[in-house]
Structure 1
Amino acid sequence: MNETLQLFNLCGKRALITGSGRGIGLALARGLAGAGAAVVINDRNEQKASAVAARLRDEGFSADIAVFDVTNPAQVTDAVDAYEERAGAIDILVNNAGIQRRAALENFTATDWNDLLRVNLDGAFHVSQAVARHMLARGRGKIINICSVQGELARPGIAPYAATKGAIRMLTKGMCAEWAGRGIQANALAPGYFATDLNRALVDDPAFSDWLCKRTPAGRWGRVEELCGAAVFLASPASDFVNGQTLFVDGGLTSVV
């Protein structure tokens, strides 16, 4: 392997991807594994996580599991500490766990608002804090926070979701401010519109899909595997001087009016 390609090699690294039982999280796990990383599948459900990890191992990848709920800080800390003691260093963290709620802002319930904050924002904070303590002790680590074009652009019906993703962008900058000088690179990966279970209602809406394809310069929905190259870059030595940034993978959506 030549010197340039070696910069993207993740062999010998271990990556924990939260909420990786399906969708974007699973695609990112598969992409990082394809670049050589040993991946750690996270879900609240042990049976589900185990099934996903077994599937990845059948595909020839190295895969393990870490079972915890990102919204439970004590559970997160205990699980991360136990995993590091049992299996070794978590070199790469991908904060992917997230949920969506849709409603007009004036009708948005306090329960849905709090659920979004707990999973999308609090979860990233809790897991980053638990993993970063170990990274800081080693003087190295990569954190990738999954953001969204909604961290930059708003649309009706999802204002609270957009607020959580805007907060993730600023949390990423804060991680850079706190930890860059201590060996951690923290960046955000912001997908555009990708066909996943999370936005199935939009995928199945012909009017919305027509609007999106006209609005996006690439003229189509994204495919989840198209996020993997950006994730490998942010997880690899190729990004060692990249910190606090948000990388949009959106078919050009945020670049045009």
Structure 2
Amino acid sequence: MSLSIGSNGTSVRQLQQRLKTAGFNPGAVDGKFGARTDAAVRAFQRANRLQVDGKAGTKTMQALQRDSFEPSTARRTTGTGTSSTAKGTARTTPQTTSTRANERIPYRNGHIPKNALTDVGSGHKMYGDAARKYIQMRDAARRDGVNLKLTDSYRSYAAQVDVARRKGIYGVRQPNGKLGLAARPGTSNHGLGKAVDINVNDAKTLNWLKNNASKYGFKTIPREPWHWEYKG
């Protein structure tokens, strides 16, 4: 059974809440499937490469359940990926390996709470070892007369959706004929708090990073010299 314009009731209310949590505004969470909920469903389907028909069927609901997981409800996580929630019920969540082999992130991509992130300068945030190593790298660069200027760092799921809307999904041809540049929402390393974008418009900064970033566990890719990820 799918939900669409004209549907109403508890199931629609749950759908609206999940859309809202995932970063797609359905309007009022009132249990009434109207035009704004339809638009939010279509936007979510488009961002997740699902059939864009405005109908919340099995695949759309499964994707929403995955992307609207709220990590703040988790108390602990076992090695099998089963977490106990505040209500005492078991929830199976994927375990994401990050920053180093033995560091686990008990949060879904793009759903790391603010109090679990570390400020790495100018309001930018990172997570765990990646944050500590970036700060070490930033300070070392300063001692060498190089000021690393961040343009992006941690991205919430909603922020990833916004970037995907503006830049398109990586490798997918856009209406203007250009290929998209953004990772699929929920898969970006920015959402794990271990990637930063650095202003490399001046050769001095880029050369310093090429010669020193690996000492702190950071690597880049040729097509995006501004993008640096902590690999440990």
Larger Rg: 2
Report which structure shows greater RCO (CA 8 Å, sep ≥6).
1
TM-score, scaled to structure 1: 0.30
TM-score, length basis structure 2: 0.32
